[in-house]
Amino acid sequence: MATKTSKPTFKNNEGVKEIEIGVKKFGCIGASPPHCHPHVFLNMGKRKNILCPYCSTRYVYRLGVDPRGGELARAGVVARGASAPPHPMRSLRGQ
């Protein structure tokens, strides 16, 4: 019986523009539920970065970053560059 390998899933609760990760195949959900976007699975292939088509978070592959991403990367804390515009749902939550 073949075992199913799960791919890490990342979210960008902080609304940063770029997140460094240690994998090239992964899922993006945007922000934490209930403010997430449709769950998409992305594959960088030979590229070193990819842009999520829903939330526009740029994921950058960096050798040596924990392949599982860890809680910091999943929360959008391990990132470079200035913050992206606030998530549209934040204004609805009064933040």
At 22-45, the pLDDT tens digits run: 899 999 999 988 889 999 999 999
Handedness of CA 45, 61, 18, 36 (dihedral sign): positive
Q: In the chain, which residues have pLDDT < 70?
A: 1-5, 67-95
In this prediction, residue 64 carries a pLDDT of 80
According to the 3-state scheme, what is the secondary structure of the chain?
Answer: CCCCCCCCEECCCCCEEEEEECCCEEEEEECCCCCEEEEEEEECCCCCEEECCCCCCEEEECCCCCCCCHHHHHCCCCEEEEECCCCHHHHHCCC
In this prediction, residue 7 carries a pLDDT of 79
Decide if domain 9-81 falls under CATH 2.30.30.40: no
**pTM for this model (two decimals):** 0.68
Structural domain boundaries of the chain? 9-81
